[in-house]
Structure 1
Amino acid sequence: MKKQQLLVVGLGFVVLIGFFFFGRTVPTQGDKPAASATGDSTKLDFPAMLAIAKQKITPTQLAYVTQLEHAVVRGDVLTQQIQAYRQLAAFWGDTAKIFVPYAEYTALAAKLENSKKSLTFAANLFFEDLQTVQEAPLRSWEADQAKDLYNKVLTLDPADDSAKVSLGSCYIFGGSGSPQETMQGILKIREVAQRDTANTYAQYMLGLAGIVSGQTDKAIDRFQAVLRHDPDNLDVQMRLADLYEEKGDRESSRKAYLNLRSTYTRLVSSGKLKSDTSFLKEINKRIRTSPGIQ
């Protein structure tokens, strides 16, 4: 998936177990996160999250995890530690299917390896997941992990614009929501967009920032900039159509929805895109229900 197609949506020492699974479950109304020992109920702690995750695996699996956690012995300790972290990441990701320890152990291995490729991969894990997380404390924790990793990438390669944009996006979509933090993220992304106007990733993330901050016209301008360089971007086309409709520009909304359907049909017919009946159904629904659309 292209980064510019990423969708953005929307505790302490003990957190809800459901937060940490692939396909997270909805907690019951009676579930309450406990405050941390420091009194800060919004600060997450990985060892505590890991302890909760371990409660969801079998005794045999727990023994395997414990063995890996103590796998460092005499000799080439760094290499062995990297290998152990990778094995732990593989277990939590492939077998247990619990995201937080999978991503954290992937990150720990990447930090020890200290290569741009591994650090970027780990950072992207957190960044992509935080965009689907509705629980603010977990989203903030994942953003902090991603920021740390992207900063390490930029230490190795200060010219990596994708890392700069992703770092800025972490402040916008994973932060506290304060104007200061949002602006800090926007400035980091804008630096790239102003220097490279053809950088569709930067333009796209600034468009999403416009939506988050309620600046509809600025979001529209950024998405239009994306389409000048990537005219077949279906995600951006739909976002534009929605924004036009939201601001009451019926004519622009009509054109955008019809153009979205035309682009989708053309891409499917040419074999560049696999047919998705649910997506086409949604487009047609919006065309039927939107004011002024025929």
Structure 2
Amino acid sequence: MRMVRQYVFSAVMFTLFLFLTSLWLPQDMIQDCELSWIPCLNVFSETRKVDAAGHVVSNSRNNNNINDNNNSNNEAVIEVCPGQDFQVSRLLLHLNSSLGSASDVLLEPYLLCWEELIKFMEALGSLVGFFTGKVQEKIVLIRRLSEEESAKFDLLSTAHLQHHAYYSVRSMLEAELQRGMVNFDRRTDSGSRTLLRLHRSLLWLQLLLEKLRGGEDREEERSLGTLCAEAYAQALAPYHPWLLQQAAQLAFRAMPSRAALLPIVCVRTQEEAEPILHTIITAIREVHLRTQRELEQRNMLNLP
């Protein structure tokens, strides 16, 4: 009987050990991790390279170990750009990680995308900082709600992994609706309302990058400030008071020339920048489209 108890104890401890170690597996070591009970943890290494789809294709610790499947249709490899905070490679990794199953958007990778986009906006000029400050406040609010939710669960409880309200955009919107946290008549500090503001700002950046990439009407001949102002007028101005719109216009007039964008995305010419901008635009567009659908299905596109 004693041997049986020892055997059972050993089996339980071994199972617990496997569970704990599995929690720290990097996401790129787990296939379809969002479909399993193992949480997807985003691990970024400055030595990684990503292809045009945002997939890791190599690592400097083993440069010969390249995933041919990920790189077969996208030969361009985006490397880490030394000496600057914003990294296209890191942004693409977070965007790719945020695409969950069933057209959902995973919330933590989504917030990591925004942290990288803040660096991009700050690189465009210090006067754009009044935008980044507001974005950072929204990230902090959603993270605080997520931490409060986590405190309700035991660390090793499967309920914490399977039913966390702030695991994804869909789960957050549904949970806050059911809990009465969303008000369609007045402002509340809900994650849903805060996400809507981030969602609108993401459209602004998407439109700006599309204009920067150039088009048939020769957008490339127009200034960075002009394109930024036009994107703002389409995506954000309708929701901002007059004073904020005037402040935005002043910031756009003080923006640097378009040539300042090239080192930000680590290229030397507009021709080199175009495929990189296309890659970023495609990834942002997918995240924005998925979020748009979730908000639209719940009539949340005009929360006060």
TM-score, normalization by structure 2: 0.28
Higher helix fraction (1 or 2): 1
TM-score, normalization by structure 1: 0.28
Highest RCO, 1 vs 2 (Cα 8 Å, sep ≥ 6): 2
